[in-house]
Amino acid sequence: MATPAEEPRHPSVTSVHIDDDKMRSMSITNPNVSQLMADAAKGTEAEHQMTIWQSLKLYPAAVGWSVLLSTAIVMEGFDIVLIANLLALPAFKLAFGELQPDGSYELTAAWQSGLTNGAYVGEVLGLLIMGVVAERIGYRKTMIGALVALTGLIFIVFFVQSLPQLLTGLILMGIPWGVFQTLTTTYAAEVCPVSLRAYLTTYVNLCWVIGQFLASGVLKGVSNRTDEWGYRIPYALQWIWPIPLIIGIYLAPESPWWLVRKERHQEAKRMLLRLTSRNSPSFNPDETIAMMVHTNELEKATTKGSSYIDCFRKTDLRRTEIASVAWFIQSFCGASFMGFSTYFYEQAGLDVSHAFSLSLAQYALGAIGTLLSWFLMTRFGRRTLYVYGQAIMCCLLLIIGFCGLADPGNGGAQWAIGSMLLIFTFVYDSTVGPVCYSLVAEIPSTRLRQKTVVLARNLYNVGSIITNILTPRMLNPGAWNWGAKSGFFFAGTCFLCFVWSFFRLPEPKGRTYAELDMLFEKKVAARKFKGAVVEMFEAGEGEPFDGEKGGLEEKNVVSHVEHV
């Protein structure tokens, strides 16, 4: 029977090996590099052979702690929907809107854009600060500090008396929200094995949907109030979240990957043991830590620095581009329609009660879609869902645009628009919405992951600011008044996003972080990632490498993954 190294390969299959010069570089800083690579090979093989059920049995604590930290996104999803959909609340419009010719009150398009963008401006600041602070003091301390700050900032929006005061409060609250957006995803990506990575990173999207659903339910409950408590009650409910989260995160273990990057290997092992089950005699924590150390050393041999500027050097430039554009696509694929859903339903001709009811149905479908994405990713992978999801959404946006050509008094067309938005939400939350979180957490190198995710999220925030300027003007009767015809604009941008994804987005499914490092280092084309063979622990040229002679003595330590 042929060994893996002797198996015949199809000519079109890409095979990558570790470079000799990187092996030598690693041997200089690690005298026992042969033993390190042997242990890392065993740890890598163990991760590849681990089924989902075995992962859940071995890493139950990791799942629980990741879910706890991701709950912070429920709070953020609640708050973000509150900002956009308060614009449709009668009490809020009466307090801060301007009298229209028909006797109703409406916020100007400028203030609609300003309020929705205020939070994103704060998030940009928070993300840039967090990228440096989190890598220096760790994930837990950064999250706790952000939650403490948010608890005090809620007072500003609760006692709001004017739109400028509300805008100031939203900008300041955006700073800790920026922390939640990325730390929850990167923590999930670092505390779990390969087989659970997709589930825990995309769970962040489910938390978004849960927060959006809760906010819509609260807004529907106060939609008939015309006094100031109609908008003060939703803001007051934000105080429910921080204290329980602070207590839980204080007790949570730190990321072992972060500790390895800080050369605190024994502490990383202790945290790994806290994340895993004690009733698994076959699990070897030393081999798993060796895999982390090997990945870290391999990346250090490729790029020495770990600053923001290093995200734009060598192979990390491509990884930054992929993570950033993948997140930017969420802004321009038409998802902003969902953020303004209640307002959009009203402008389409539905009354306030029906508008909030459809929003609740929309977010319920979003939750179901996110759960479905877990099974779809297992079957089809990240790239396939991202590409074909955008193609379907482009078609739905065209349908919405054509329905907008109907007479405003056509009730059938109005309900068709609402129905298409519901289907759009389901497709988005089955594909692009959750898969994005998995992609941006997996694509960056481990040493630059935090900063790459920060840059990616900030590009998303810039895109959201642009769409939040455009969308209110498209929908506002006092501005462009496009209504559902706005679907044509976003169908065009969604198609452009589809083209980029088809040519530039790789498939990270089933890869360890070290294997992804190899594929990017060898500049493997995006469409060849899935079928590439990665030989992590074998030199590509010359004699077998050991720490002294320039080769690896244990040449039988070879890892083949995704063999085609």
* CATH code, 207: 1.20.1250.20
15 belongs to a structural domain: no
Q: Assess whether 326 and 234 both reside in one domain.
A: no
In a domain, 370, yes or no: yes
Q: How far is CA 239 from CA 78, 154, 213, 234, 303, in A?
A: 12, 7, 17, 10, 43
500 forms bridges with which residues in the sheet? none
- Specify if 29 maps to a domain: no
Reply yes or no on whether the pLDDT at 105 is more than 80: no
Collapsing DSSP to helix, strand or coil, 223 comes out as coil
Q: Is residue 496 located within the same domain as residue 379?
A: yes
Which of 223, 252, 281 marks a domain boundary?
Answer: 252
Supply the DSSP symbol for 253. Answer: P
The whole-angstrom separation of Cα 149 and Cα 154 is: 9
**One domain, residues 359 and 215:** no
Residue 349 lies in a domain: yes
Alpha-carbon distance of 71 to 252, in angstroms, equals 13
pLDDT computed for residue 560 by the predictor: 38
356 part of a folded domain? yes
Q: How far apart are alpha carbons 512 and 63 in whole angstroms?
A: 18
| pLDDT computed for residue 324 by the predictor | 95
Torsion angle of the four alpha carbons 336, 342, 345, 351, in this order, in degrees rounded to the nearest 10: -170
Closest CA to 368 of 307, 423, 450, 437: 423
Q: ∠ CA 498-502-503 to the nearest 5 degrees?
A: 125
- Whether 246 and 318 map to the same domain: the answer is no
Residue 397 lies in a domain: yes
Residue 80: pLDDT band with limits 50, 70, 90: confident
Sign of CA dihedral 148, 153, 154, 155: positive
* Average confidence score pLDDT of the chain: 82
Residue 194 lies in a domain: yes
Exposure class string for 310-338: b at 16+ Cβ within 10 A, else e:
bbeeebbeebbbbbbbbbbbbbbbbbbbb
Amino acid 265: pLDDT: 92
Q: Residue 477: name the closest of 170, 82, 87 by CA.
A: 87
Region 183-188 average pLDDT? 90
Q: Across 4-13, 191-200, 218-227, 477-486, which has the greatest mean pLDDT?
A: 191-200
User: Residues 315, 247: one domain?
Assistant: no
H/E stretch holding 99 reads: strand 98-99
pLDDT band (50, 70, 90) for residue 341: low
CA angle, corner 531, sides to 527 and 536, nearest 5? Answer: 115
Residue range of the domain that includes 523: 309-534
Angle formed at CA 483 by CA 477 and CA 487, multiple of 5 degrees: 150
Burial of 551 (0-12, 13-18, 19+ CB in 10 A): middle
Instruction: Give CA angle at 74 (474, 119), nearest 5°.
Output: 45
Residues written for the chain: 564
CB atoms within 10 A of CB 307: 12
- Tell whether 314 and 239 lie within a shared domain: no
Q: Are residues 232 and 327 in the same domain?
A: no
Residues with Cβ within 8 Å of 81's Cβ and at least 6 positions away in sequence, in order, are 211, 212, 215, 216, 219, 339
Task: Provide mean pLDDT across the span 535-553.
Answer: 47
Q: Is the dihedral of CA 215, 221, 224, 226 positive or negative?
A: negative
Structurally, how many domains does the chain consist of? 2
Kind and range of the H or E run holding 537: strand 533-539
Q: Does the residue 62 lie in any domain?
A: yes
Whether residues 67 and 161 share a domain: the answer is: yes
Rounded to whole angstroms, the Cα distance separating 257 from 310 reads: 19
Of 155-169, 268-282, 294-308, least confident by mean pLDDT is 294-308
97 vs 119: CA distance, rounded Å: 20
**Which are the contacts of 392, defined by CB distance < 8 A and separation ≥ 6?**
427, 431
Q: Is the pLDDT of residue 542 over 70?
A: no
Strand 105-106 relative to strand 15-18, pairing: unpaired
Of 166-170, 180-184, 534-538, the one with minimum mean pLDDT is 534-538
pLDDT at 152 over 70: yes
Q: Which of 205, 232, 252 is the last residue of a domain?
A: 252
pLDDT at position 393: 95
Among the residue ranges 105-109, 212-216, 512-516, 535-539, the one predicted with the least confidence is 535-539
Q: Are 85 and 230 within one domain?
A: yes
Q: How many helices (H) and strands (E) does the chain have?
A: 24, 4
Same domain (yes/no): 321, 409: yes
Q: Going by C-beta distance under 8 Å and a sequence separation of 6 or more, which residues neighbour residue 200? A: 62, 63, 66, 67, 70, 188, 189, 191, 192
State the Cα–Cα distance between residues 334 and 311, nearest whole angstrom: 28
Mean pLDDT value of segment 176-203: 88
Give the pLDDT confidence score for residue 20 in this predicted structure.
63
Residue 232: C-alpha distances to residues 132, 159, 222, 389, 408 (Å): 35, 8, 10, 38, 34
Same domain, 334 and 191: no
Residue 510 contacts residue 516 (beta carbons within 8 Å) = no
Distance of alpha carbon 442 from alpha carbon 436, whole angstroms: 10
Which pTM does this prediction carry? Answer: 0.80
Q: Other C-beta atoms within 10 Å of 78: how many?
A: 24
Top pLDDT among 549 and 164 is at 164
84, pLDDT greater than 80: no
Label residue 495 exposed, middle or buried (CB < 10 Å: 0-12, 13-18, 19+): middle
Q: pLDDT tens across 410-447, in order? A: 767 777 887 888 889 899 989 999 999 999 999 999 88
Do 521 and 376 sit in the same domain of this protein?
A: yes
